[in-house]
Amino acid sequence: MAVTAGSKVLNNVEAVRETLYEAMKSDDRTIILGEDVGARGNVFLITKDFINEFGPERVIDTPIAEASIVGIAVGMAMEGLRPIAEIQFADFIYPAFNQIVGEAAKTRYRSNGEYTCPLVIRTPYGGGVRGALSHSVSIEALFYHVPGLKIVAPAFPADVKGLLNAAIDDPDPVLFLEHKKTYRLIKGEVPEGHYTIPIGKANVIKEGRQLTVVSYGLYVHWALEAANQLENEGMSVEVIDLRSIRPMDRTTILNSVEKTRKLLIIHEDNKFGGIGAEISAMVAEEALFSLDAPIRRLAAPDVPAMGYAEPLEHEYMSSPAQMADAMRELVKF
Amino acid sequence: MATTITMPQLGETVTEGTVAQWLKKVGDTVEKYEPFLEVSTDKVNAEVPAPVTGVIKEVLVKEGDTVPIGTAIAVIEEVGAATGTAPAAQAPSTPESMAASANEEPVPGFNIPQLPTKPAAASSGNGHARTGNGVIPSSYGAPGGLDTAGAEDALRKASPAVRKLARENNLDIRAIRGTGTNGRVTADDVLTAAAMGPAAAVGQAIATGTNFGATPPPAFAPAAPPSAPPASGTSTYGEPIPGTVIPLTQARRIIAERMVESKHTAPHAWSMVSIDVTNVWKWRAREKDRFERETGYKLTLLPFFIRAVVESISAFPLMNAKFTAEGIYVNKDVNIGVAIGLPTNLVVPVIKNADKLSIKGLAIAGGELIDKARRNKLGVDDLAGGTFTVNNNGANGSWASAPIINGGQAGIVTMETVEKKLLVRDDDSFAPCYVMNSCLSLDHRVVDGYVASGFLADLKKRLEKMGPDGAL
Same domain, B99 and B173: no
In a domain, B69, yes or no: yes
In a domain, B224, yes or no: no
Query: Can you tell me the mean pLDDT for A186-206?
Result: 97
- Kindly report which listed range (A316-325, B210-219, B221-230) carries the lowest average pLDDT score: B210-219
In a domain, B211, yes or no: no
| pLDDT at B12 (0 to 100) | 53
In a domain, B334, yes or no: yes
Taking only the tens place, the pLDDT of each residue in B45-78 is: 777 888 888 889 888 898 888 888 888 899 898 8
Same domain, B455 and B311: yes
CB atoms within 10 A of CB A116: 15
Averaging pLDDT over each range in A58-72, B360-374, B388-402, B408-422, which range is the top one? A58-72
| pLDDT at B193 (0 to 100) | 83
Query: Can you tell me the mean pLDDT for B153-169?
Result: 86
Query: Does residue B242 belong to the interface with chain A, where contact is any CB pair within 8 Å?
Result: no
DSSP state string for A145-172: T-TT-EEE---SHHHHHHHHHHHHH-SS
| pLDDT at B98 (0 to 100) | 38
Taking only the tens place, the pLDDT of each residue in A162-172 is: 999 999 999 99
**Side-chain half-sphere of B430: how many Cα atoms within 13 Å?**
4
Across-strand partners of B412? B389, B441
Report chain B residues whose CB lies below 8 A from the CB of A289.
Answer: 160-161, 163-164
- Kindly report which listed range (A8-12, A160-164, A313-317, B292-296) carries the lowest average pLDDT score: B292-296
Averaging pLDDT over each range in A297-311, B151-165, B232-246, which range is the top one? A297-311
* CATH number of the domain that residue B69 is part of: 2.40.50.100
- Chain A interface residues facing chain B, Cβ-Cβ under 8 Å? 261, 288-293, 329, 332-333
Query: Can you tell me the mean pLDDT for A59-71?
Result: 98
| pLDDT at A195 (0 to 100) | 97
Report the distance separating Cα B173 and Cα B193, nearest Å. 10
Q: Give the residue from B145, B177, B196 where a domain finishes.
A: B196
| pLDDT at B244 (0 to 100) | 83
Task: List the single residue in A288, A291, A332 with the smallest CB-CB distance to B180.
Answer: A332
Same domain, B112 and B162: no
Query: Does residue B290 belong to the interface with chain A, where contact is any CB pair within 8 Å?
Result: no
Q: What is the ipTM score, two decimals?
A: 0.76
Same domain, B261 and B363: yes
Task: List the single residue in A261, A288, A329 with the smallest CB-CB distance to B187.
Answer: A261
List the beta strands (DSSP E) in B69-217.
Answer: 72-78
Same domain, B184 and B304: no
**CA B207 from centroid of its chain's CA atoms:** 10
Same domain, B275 and B407: yes
In order of A87, A180, A299, A308, B62, the CA distances from A128 in angstroms are 19, 9, 14, 10, 66
CB atoms within 10 A of CB A110: 13
Grade residue B197 by pLDDT with cuts at 50, 70 and 90: low
Report the distance separating Cα B263 and Cα B376, nearest Å. 27
CB B413 within 8 A of CB B439: yes
Same domain, B309 and B393: yes
B159-177 CB burial, b ≥16 within 10 A, e <16:
bbbbebbbeeeebebbbbb
Residue B8 reports pLDDT greater than 60? yes
pTM attached to this predicted model: 0.53
Residue A203 reports pLDDT greater than 90? yes
Across-strand partners of B66? B18
∠ CA A269-A271-A272, nearest 5°, is 120
Residues 6+ apart with CB under 8 A from B228: B245
In a domain, B373, yes or no: yes
Residue B138 reports pLDDT greater than 60? no
From the candidates B28, B289, B371, B448, which is the catalytic residue? B448
Verify whether the Cβ–Cβ distance A333 to B160 is below 8 Å.
Answer: no
Same domain, B119 and B184: no
Report the distance separating Cα B202 and Cα B381, nearest Å. 10
Grade residue B123 by pLDDT with cuts at 50, 70 and 90: very low
Verify whether the Cβ–Cβ distance A333 to B161 is below 8 Å.
Answer: no
In a domain, B244, yes or no: no
Same domain, B310 and B388: yes
Query: Can you tell me the mean pLDDT for B432-459?
Result: 94
DSSP state string for A299-323: EE-S-SS--SSHHHHHHHSPPHHHH
- The total number of structural domains in chain B stands at 3
Query: Can you tell me the mean pLDDT for B377-389?
Result: 85
What residue numbers bound the domain in which B388 lies?
255-465
* CATH number of the domain that residue B183 is part of: 4.10.320.10
Verify whether the Cβ–Cβ distance B180 to A289 is below 8 Å.
Answer: no
| pLDDT at A187 (0 to 100) | 95
| pLDDT at B92 (0 to 100) | 38
| pLDDT at B426 (0 to 100) | 85
Query: Can you tell me the mean pLDDT for B428-448?
Result: 94
A234 or B139, higher pLDDT:
A234
CB B295 within 8 A of CB B364: yes
Grade residue B338 by pLDDT with cuts at 50, 70 and 90: very high
Same domain, B161 and B43: no
Query: Does residue B157 belong to the interface with chain A, where contact is any CB pair within 8 Å?
Result: no
| pLDDT at B11 (0 to 100) | 61
In a domain, B61, yes or no: yes
Grade residue B80 by pLDDT with cuts at 50, 70 and 90: low
- Kindly report which listed range (A294-303, B126-135, B374-383) carries the lowest average pLDDT score: B126-135
* CATH number of the domain that residue B351 is part of: 3.30.559.10
Task: List the single residue in A293, A329, A332 with the smallest CB-CB distance to B159.
Answer: A293
Q: Give the residue from B80, B104, B123 where a domain finishes.
A: B123
How much of chain A exceeds pLDDT 90, in percent?
Answer: 98
Q: What chain B residue is nearest to A261 in terms of C-alpha separation? A: B161
| pLDDT at B202 (0 to 100) | 33
Taking only the tens place, the pLDDT of each residue in B388-410 is: 999 988 877 899 999 999 888 99
Mean pLDDT of chain B: 76
- For helices B302-315 and B278-295, the axis angle rounded to 10 degrees is 120
Query: Does residue B164 belong to the interface with chain A, where contact is any CB pair within 8 Å?
Result: yes
Residue B113 reports pLDDT greater than 60? no
Query: Can you tell me the mean pLDDT for B218-227?
Result: 41
Same domain, B72 and B162: no
Q: Give the residue from B100, B123, B146 where a domain finishes.
A: B123
Walk me through the domains of chain A, giving residue ranges and CATH numbers: 7-191 (3.40.50.970), 203-332 (3.40.50.920)
Q: What chain A residue is nearest to B183 in terms of C-alpha separation? A: A333
Same domain, B100 and B191: no
Is B368 exposed, middle or buried (CB count within 10 Å of its CB: 0-12, 13-18, 19+)? middle
Residues 6+ apart with CB under 8 A from B29: B53, B54, B55, B56, B79
In order of A259, B75, B406, the CA distances from B415 in angstroms are 36, 51, 16
Look up B448 and say whether it is catalytic: yes
In a domain, B90, yes or no: yes
